[in-house]
Amino acid sequence: MKETEIIQALRARLGTPTGRQLYGVVGTYPALKHFAGSLRQVRMPDGERFPKPLSVNRGILQSLGADELRRLAADEGVFPEPVAARLAQAFEAFLRSRLKEHGLLVLHELELLFAYAVELSCLRALAADRDRVVLLLPGRKESGRVIMYPGLTPGSYSLPVNLIADDHLWELDREPRGGADT
């Protein structure tokens, strides 16, 4: 879909004050970057501009602190499950605190979540009613699934099938207008 079509659909959905409020936009990294810039120029139904995308990776790492990061890095090879569990806790804490500050989040850079197979169900639980989340997802739609990070090992990362409702998930045209460098 074209950026303008996705933005119009997203604005229409955000005008609904109740229900699940988790949205996803799928595309290449350059297309998502261009889309994020375009989205920042648009006003939401309440008149405010769309917020700047927040890096999930950065949010998780900042919430852990330097000492804990060093400890987790040292433990990762021997105890990968507790490290993944701690990243999941940090992600949920990051998400809760940001939603408390702002009713709408645009999130990007989710690589840590997929690298550690972090369960994404907290997104479904927290993105409801007045708390809304838009995910910018590097990937492509294929056979009813969202394949994340195409070009890596095929099918190694995919979005859980029921995480985002079909009518809340859009795929950007392959490249933004003006090519990959814009």
Q: Give me the count of residues in the chain.
A: 182
Beta carbons of 136 and 171 less than 8 angstroms apart: no
Q: Rounded to 5 degrees, what angle do the CA atoms 42, 128, 89 make?
A: 105
**Do the domain assignments include residue 43?**
yes
Asked whether the beta carbons of 37 and 182 are under 8 A apart, the reply is: no
Residue 46 lies in a domain: yes
Closest to 146 (Cα-Cα) out of 132, 133, 128, 163: 163
User: Which residues lie closer than 8 Å to 54 by C-beta, 6 or more apart?
Assistant: 98, 105, 106, 107, 108
The answer to the question of residue 99 being in a domain is no
Phi, psi for 43 (deg, rounded to 5): -95, 140
> Closest Cα to residue 177, out of 37, 5, 2?
2
Is 61 a member of any domain? no
pLDDT in the model for residue 155: 56
What pLDDT is attached to residue 177?
Answer: 54
pLDDT score at 74:
85
pTM score, two decimals? Answer: 0.89
CB 146 within 8 A of CB 158: yes
Residue 154 has a pLDDT of 57
Q: Give the per-residue pLDDT at 180.
A: 43
Q: List the domain range (segments joined by +) for residue 30.
A: 3-54+104-171
pLDDT at position 181? 41
The neighbour count for residue 150, using CB atoms within 10 Å, is: 13
Rounded to an integer, what is the distance from CA 111 to the centroid of its chain? 10
Cβ 24 vs Cβ 58: under 8 Å: no
- Is 67 within a domain? no
Domain tally, the chain: 1
pLDDT along the chain (182 residues), means of 10: 94 88 95 95 87 95 85 80 90 95 94 89 92 95 86 74 92 65 39
Name the DSSP class of 94: H
Judge whether 63 lies within some domain: no
**Domain-embedded: residue 19:** yes
The verdict on residue 65 lying in a domain is: no
Looking at residue 179, its pLDDT comes to 47
